[in-house]
Structure formats: structure tokens, C-alpha cells
Amino acid sequence: MFFLLRLDSARGAYSSYFDLAIGLARHQRTGSLTSLENFAQHVGAKTYGDIYGNWWPGTIEKLEVNILRAMTDARYLRVNLDGLIKEIDQFPSILQKGERGIEPVEVLRGVEMGNITNWEIWKIYMTEMLKEKAVFYFNGTPMSVPE
């Protein structure tokens, strides 16, 4: 068992006893790809990139599997809602979008909208074991989301 765990570690996969940061990668005000990393630092969590060593595993199917694996093994899921909604009572809109799947599903005003973070939050919300260990943050503060 110990040997297998070390093999995993050598492949850049996984270490246990971590909190997983979830949220938009791109900062909504500047466009820079630092938003999730900043949030992760703020809450003392790891990002997908920290855990797997890179952000893109080659296919969306592998990405989905990797995300679910990290979510399952994380101690807490620290979810940043900033940039996804403007008010906390808009939380159900994230679930509605997330239910459509991990791939981009809509084009608004000529822009293809990504859906990974919406899907992650929907998955957490719909999976009791994940929901129990999720902490939602809005404007940097932990808060409860509408049931």
C-alpha cells in the first residue's frame, strides 16, 4: 500500500490531507489567471494545478475524473463564488448552469462561456458526501448558501 501511494506521488498525482480550492481561475476585474491561486492562498488550500502538476490532462473526460478524485479525497472543499454571481441569492443560477455538464454549453453575446466551475459546484451540491465538507466563500467570507 505504501509503495502504491509513493508511485502515485511520483506521477505528480496526489497527496492526502489537503483542502481543495474551487472557483474561477480568471480574475473578473483584470482578466489575469490568478484568481483561484490567490483564493487558495487566502484559505490555505491547494488548486487542481498544485495537486496534479498541471491544469490540462489532455481530455475533458480525464479532467472530470481527476476533479472528482481530488474532491473525494480532499479534507475540505473551499469554494469561491466570487465572479460567478453578484449576490448570494443568485446561487441557484450556478446549479442550473452546472447541471448542463462540464463542457461549455452556451454562447452569450458572441462569447463561449466555460462551465467547469459551475459544474464543480453543482456536483458538490448534489453529492451529500461532498456537500458535507464544502465551505462556500463570497467576497472572501465563509457563508451558507441557499438550500
Give contact residues for other proteins (rule: CB under 8 A): 26, 28-33, 107-112
In this structure, are strands 20-22 and 106-108 parallel, antiparallel, or unpaired?
A: unpaired
Give the N- to C-terminal CA distance of the chain in Å, as an integer: 40
Q: Which is nearer to other proteins, 73 or 82 (CB)?
A: 82
Single-letter residue type at 67: I
Residue closer to other proteins, measured from CB, 68 or 85: 85
Coil/strand/helix, residue 129: helix
C-beta of 1 vs 107, nearer to other proteins:
107
Q: Which runs of E-coded beta strand occur in 42-133? A: 77-80, 106-108, 111-113
Give the integer Cα–Cα distance in Å for 75 and 45: 10
- Least distance in angstroms from the C-beta of 82 to other proteins: 12
**Shortest approach of other proteins to residue 104 CB, angstroms?**
9
Smallest distance, other proteins to C-beta of residue 6, A: 37
**Cell matching residue 52:** 496534479
CB of residue 126 to other proteins, shortest distance in Å: 27
Q: Which is nearer to other proteins, 61 or 112 (CB)?
A: 112
The DSSP 8-state label assigned to residue 103 in this structure reads S
Nearer to other proteins, 5 or 33 (CB): 33
* Inter-helix orientation angle 116-126/91-98, to 10°: 100
- Min. distance of Cβ 100 from other proteins in angstroms? 18
